[in-house]
Structure formats: C-alpha cells, structure tokens
Structure 1
Amino acid sequence: MRRPLVPFVAVPLFALALAACNDGNAHTENRAQPPARAVVVETVKFVARTPERSFVGSVRPRIESDLGFRVAGKIAERLVQQGQAVTRGQALARLDPTDLALQKEQAEAELAAAQINLNTSEAQDKRSLDLRRSGWATQAAVDQQLARTADARGRLDRAKRALELAVNQLAYSTLVSDVDGVVTATLAEPGQVVASGTPVVRVARAGEREAVVAVPEALIERVRTGQASVSLWSNANRRYEAKLREFAASADPATRTFQARFTIQNADDGVVIGMTATVTVGEPASARVARLPISALYSEGRGPSVFLVDEASGDLTLRPVAVEGYEGRDVLVSGGIADGDKVVALGVHKLDASQKVRVVEVRS
C-alpha cells in the first residue's frame, strides 16, 4: 500500500509562507527609516539691528589758512614747496623791497625835518618869552609862537608814526608763517604781481586732524547721534575714535549733500593730510538681532519657530524664537537661538522634527 504524500507537501508550503513574512517585515523596516533629507542651512550671527554706515572722505587739518602779503608788490622769491614742514616765524616768500625801502627813507627824512622844525620853534619860544618879560613883545605874539611850537610837535609825532608804518610795511615784504605746520598749496609764483591779501601759500596748522565726508540728507540724524570711527585706506586694520565737530548748515548745491567734519582722536604720524579715510557711523545702543530668511520660519499656530540642525547626527530640533520685526525678505530674530546655530533656511514646512537630514549647503 502506498503512504499519503500530504505531510511532505505541507512542509515546503510552510517554509514559503515564513519567507514571505520575513520579506514583509524587511519592507516595513525600510519604510520606517526613510533616507535623510537634504537641507540648506544658514549660520546664525547676531549683529546690530541698525547696520553701520560708511562714508569715504579725506584727512584734512582742522585749521588751514591761506597766507598772503599785507602789502602789494612783485614776488621776488618763494622759499617753500608744497608738502614742506614749516615752523613759526619761518620766511615763506619775499616781495621786491625797492619801493618799500624808498618809502622808509622818505619817512626818515620827514622825521628829521620835523625834529629840526620843533627844535627851532622851541628856541623861538624862549626868545618870545624873554621879549615879553622885557616889554618888547605882546602876549598875542607869544601865544602865536607857542601855537606854532605845538603844531611842530604834532608834526614830529606824525612823522614818527609814518616812519613806524614804513618800517612795518618793509617788514611785510617778507611773508612769514605764524604757526608750525605743513604747506599744502602754493598759490603764486615768483615774478607775479599781487595785491594786498592775495593768497600766496596755504599752510595747515600742526595738531588736530579731521576726516571730512559728504553725508546725504537721509542720514543726517544718524550721523549726528551715532558713534563714529575712522580708518585709513593705507592701514584698514587700524581704527581711530572720532567725534563729530562740525556739520554744514546747508547742502552743497551741486551734490545735495552736507559736509561733516570728524575730529580724529589720538591721531599719530600715520594720519597724513590728504589720505583717503573711511568714516563708519553706528548706533550708540542698537539692539542685536539675527537676520534670517523668512523662509526659515515655521509655524503651527503656536508662534514662530525654526529648525536647528545637528550636522554630526542629522537630528532636527524645533526651537521657538522671538521675532523683532521684518525687513524686506529677512526676519529679525532677537532670541531663542544663539550665535553659531545652524538653521534650516528652505523648505521647513515639509520637515518633521523626527526626520534625519543631511546638510548640502551652509550659508553664513
């Protein structure tokens, strides 16, 4: 008799069913652990809410004077060049002194004649008084003589003043510096005939240095109230504290900007007149915020949040944040995150805090 084959057929079927169950479990595990999602992150950096504004200008002296002769004449020689350092009392230029010397000699001659005239008149006074005591002259004649003597004395005084004036004018034929400083411009050349007061040499007084910039009218209040610093193009890493000293009362008619002069504090020898300078003005007490793209905000009705990324593990953390305001495409965050945090910048509404992510781009 033949044995039944049913038990032997059931064993393969059971094995097939068990294999099918194992495959199903494997597919379930794969669906439970989806691949890491690629994200773009931005590095958090807190800065002043009101950004600093910079203005390009030049270094100028606080006091710069155009010097000229106090008398008219022909320039005989110019003794300094542009950029030369000068000291107080140093000669800068000279006029032809011929005419001024003649005027001095004329004044000396007038003084000598006035002195002789006074001496003669005083001698005549003595004789008139003697004659009056002897009865040979009237009192009227004596009074007339005394009046002539007083006039001669006044003429002598005028002659002395005229000589002093002539001496001074001769001295004015030499233009001298009245301060220590630097020649910043030469405005006349030898052989040129100049009038009294015509600028010949420009001298910058040694001492304070200033940065002069042009300010648009939209930034007037910020420049007046902000904290300023100055850096030079020759040494951009060095910053000098600065203080607004002068602000123009009216705008330049051509550029419609206002000139501002900032005193450079503790200026050293590296601050040279004519250098290009950058004046940076910031708010004295501006709140610090982090600027993030609006696309980084995530909201489920419980306030704004952002997703923080741990680059090492790929984990996400949903973090509530305090929003200070909005500017254009940026959101200003004042709290809830810290410098250096990595925040997902795009596609946050497609993320879940339980997901794993991988960073494909980091913006700073």
Structure 2
Amino acid sequence: MRSSYWMALAVMAGAAAWVVSGQMAGGGPSPAADRPPPPAAEPAPTAVRVVESVAAARARRVVLRGRTEPNRQVVLKAETMGRVATIDVDRGRRVSEGQRIVELAEDDRPARLAEARALLAQREVEFRASRTLAERGFRADNQHAVARAQLDAARAQVMRMEVEMRRTGVRAPFAGVLEARRVELGDYLKEGDPVATVVDLDPVVVVAHLTEIDRAHVRLGQTGRARLANGREVEARVRYLAANADPATRTFRVELEAANPDLAVIGGLTAEVLLAVEEVMAHRITPALLALDEQGMVGVKTVDAADRVAFHPVRILEDGPDGMWVGDLPERARLISVGHEFVRTGQTVRPVAGEARPAS
C-alpha cells in the first residue's frame, strides 16, 4: 500500500517536470509580443497644380433688359378750320424740320387779309392827321387816343390774319419720320383735330430699369452698351435717372441715348443693356476652377502660405469668351488649377507651381 503511494507521487512529479521542461524549451512568452505594433506611415500630401493670380481693377457691370424708344414723339393737330387740300408726305417717310405735311384750303382767308391791310392803311393816315392836329392844339387828347387805339386794332387784325394764313399748313416741328397720318384729301378739320404723328429716332433712346442697389452707382453722362434684338450693338450715354422708384417693381427708370443718323435702329426693339456700376478688384479665371462648398456656395479653392486648402466664395462679375471675372478674392491668390476636385478645405497639399497669370 505504501509502495503504491510513492509510485503515484513519482508519476505526478514526472508530469510536472515534463510540463515545465516544455515551457522552457519554447522560450516562454516573447518580449516583442508585448510591444504595440508600430504606427502606419502617413500618406504623402496630394499634389495639386496652382497658379499665381493677381487682381486687377475691373468695372462691375450689370445686364439690364430694356427696349428702344423714339427720342421724342408728337401728334400734330389742326390749328384752324378747313378742308384738306394737299398732302405732301406719305407715312413712313423722313421729314425735315419745318417741312409741310398737310395744307388746308385757304378759302376766303386771302381776301380777309387784304381787307385787314387796307383798313390798317386807313388807320395809319387817320392817326397821322390826328397827331398833327393834337400837336397844334386843335384836337383833344381823348380823341387822339381813340385814333391810336383804332390804329393798334387794325395792326392786330392784320397780324391775326397772317397767323391764320400760316396755320393752314401743318408742318413738322423737328426732323424725323412721319409715323402716322390720320387725314385724307377732302377731310374737313376743326381746330384741335389730330392730323399726323412725327417721331424723332436720332438719337434713339434705350429704356431699362435699375435695382435700388445699382441705382446708387450710376451717374448721368456715363457710357454703356446696348445689344439689340437684331444683332446690332450700339454705344449709349445715360441721359436720365429716375428719382422715384416704380411702386410696382421698386426699380428706377434709366434712359440711355445712342446716335442713330441712318435710322437703322427703330423703336420697340428688345435691348440688353450693359452698364458699369462700380469698380472692384477682380481675378480672371476659367469656369473650370469653380467649385461648391457644403452649403452650395460658388467659389474657388486656393492654397495658403502653409500649403493648406482654403475655399473662397466669389461673385461672378462678368463672363465672356476670354474667361470669367470674379470678385471677393485676395489681391494675390494661389488658385488650384488642377486637382481641386480631389482635395478638401483644410487639407495639406503639395502645390506644384504653374505659370503665373496676372489679370489683364
């Protein structure tokens, strides 16, 4: 019994020795396994191409929708009664200042003028005789005053008849185009009846409307350009600025006049008016440089002095075939010309310089 006890104890000791010998043979836990893994290497900064842009003074222009109108327009009316005896100008024809358009029949006007002139001659003789008698003391002052009054009345009658004779001819008050004629041969006119409409198209007027903000930057006499619906482009000058806004649209009427000696520009044409409203510092870029931020604002991405990406909202001042002019950028800026789609604001990049492009 005692021998079996000692045998079991020996087996247990041998097993323990075998286990300990196996751990020592394996070398135990490795010190390297207890150390944390080395951190991963940071990726290299993204390379982007940048271009140095320098701002230049640029006039901010607004584009207004407008229309052309005559410089002036008048409806001619009869100044006396009479029958239309002569029509000298057809509709649509050019007329010069003072040119006769319609002539009324004289009727008995020449006879009444001759009668008035004869009476005037008689009153002049009577007045001279009265003056001689008054100077010699043979005529009272009141009688001499009557003779003077009769002479003045005769002169007034002659003048009245001469004016009446001139009124038989309806004439153009200024050079222009006979837009409409409302009478025909044989029509009988009363004083005040409309006869014809004359319009003046040189200069031609372009009418548009300014917003409240732009109204403060426009001045009388400044020049602009008008692109007409027929493809013609004319230079125009601001001649009128409304002092009160239209209550319906809250905009201000502006009129520009343009020379039109050949009358090639007619009234009623749709016009696109380009008008400078203020001078700002602007950069010329290509539309491909534009981007949107998280709020949907339009802008461009730049690289600052620390090679970090920055986003700048911009105002588009002008867009043309040679590029786009934008404002609200620093005077000098490194614009990302290639790769702005793959970088985000605040990211460090590796800028690769492109050709410097000063604004022209």
Pairwise TM-score range, normalised by the shorter structure: 0.5 to 0.7
Match in the other structure for 2:150: 155
1:186 aligns with 2:180: yes
- Separation of aligned partners in 2, 1:258 and 1:220: 7
Matches within 5 A, 1:144-293: 151-152=146-147, 154-183=149-178, 185-186=179-180, 188-190=182-184, 191=187, 193-196=189-192, 200-205=195-200, 207-224=202-219, 228-235=224-231, 238-240=233-235, 242-252=236-246, 255-264=249-258, 267=260, 269=262, 271-274=264-267, 275-289=269-283, 292-293=290-291
Letter in 2 for 1:244: V
Alpha-carbon distance between aligned partners in 2 of 1:124 and 1:217, rounded to the nearest angstrom? 74
Q: Which moved more, 1:102-111 or 1:162-171?
A: 102-111
One-letter amino acid matched to 1:93: V
The answer for the alignment partner of 2:344 in structure 1 is 348
Q: Aligned pair in 2 of structure 1 residues 350, 195: CA closer, same or farther (>3 Å)?
A: same
Q: SS of the counterpart of 2:153? A: helix
Kept after mapping to 2: 8 A contact 1:295/1:346: no
Aligned to 1:143, what secondary structure does the other structure show? coil
- Tell whether the 8 Å contact from 1:322 to 1:333 is kept in structure 2 after alignment: no
Measured at CA, do residues 233 and 305 of structure 1 come closer, stay the same or move farther in structure 2, by a change above 3 Å?
Answer: closer
**RMSD, aligned α-carbons:** 5.0
Q: Which residue is equivalent to 1:300?
A: none
Per the alignment, in what secondary structure is the counterpart of residue 92 of structure 1? strand
Deviation at 1:201, TM superposition (A): 3.0
Deviation at 1:153, TM superposition (A): 5.4
**Residues 61 and 278 of structure 2 are in contact (CA less than 8 Å); yes or no, is this contact kept in structure 1?**
no
- Structure 1 residues 267 and 88 mapped into 2: Cα distance closer, same or farther (>3 Å)? closer
Partner of 2:6: none
Residue identity in the other structure for 1:109: E
**Contact 2:311–2:345, Cα closer than 8 Å, also in 1:** no
Output the CA distance in 1 between the equivalents of 2:131 and 2:256. 71
- Give the Cα–Cα distance (whole angstroms) in 1 for the partners of residues 265 and 139 of structure 2: 72
1:200-234 Cα offsets, whole Å, 9 max, x none, are 33333464332112334453224448863222222
Match of 1:86 in 2: 95
**Gap change, CA 1:345 and 1:72, over 3 Å in 2:** farther
Q: TM-score, normalised by structure 1?
A: 0.57
Query: Paired residue for 2:118?
Result: 112
C-alpha contact (below 8 Å) 1:292/1:333 kept by paired residues: no
Report the residue type matching 1:272 in the other structure.
Answer: V
Considering fraction of residues, name the structure with more helix: 1
Compared CA separation, residues 217 and 199, structure 1 to 2 (3 A): farther
SS for the counterpart of 1:336 is: strand
Q: How much does 1:165 deviate?
A: 1.6
The 2-side partners of 1:263 and 1:125 are apart by 61
Partners of 1:201 and 1:230 in 2: how far apart? 31
**8 Å CA contact 2:130, 2:147 repeated in 1:** no
Mapped partners of 1:156, 1:87: distance in 2: 39
> For structure 2, which runs of at least 5 residues remain unmatched after alignment?
1-40, 295-299, 317-325, 352-360
Q: Which secondary structure does the structure 1 equivalent of 2:139 belong to?
A: helix
Identity %: 20
Match of 1:58 in 2: 67
- Please report how far the alpha carbon of residue 259 of structure 1 lies from its aligned counterpart in structure 2 after TM superposition: 1.9
Q: Structure 1, unaligned stretches of length 5 or more?
A: 1-31, 130-138, 297-303, 308-317, 356-364
| Aligned mates of 1:115, 1:210 — CA distance in 2 | 53
Structure 2 length normalisation: TM-score? 0.57
2:293 partner SS:
helix
What is the identity, as a one-letter code, of the residue corresponding to 2:111? E
In the alignment, residue 249 of structure 1 is paired with which amino acid? A
Q: 1:107 to 1:79 in 2, by over 3 A?
A: closer
Distance 1:353 1:122 in 2: 111
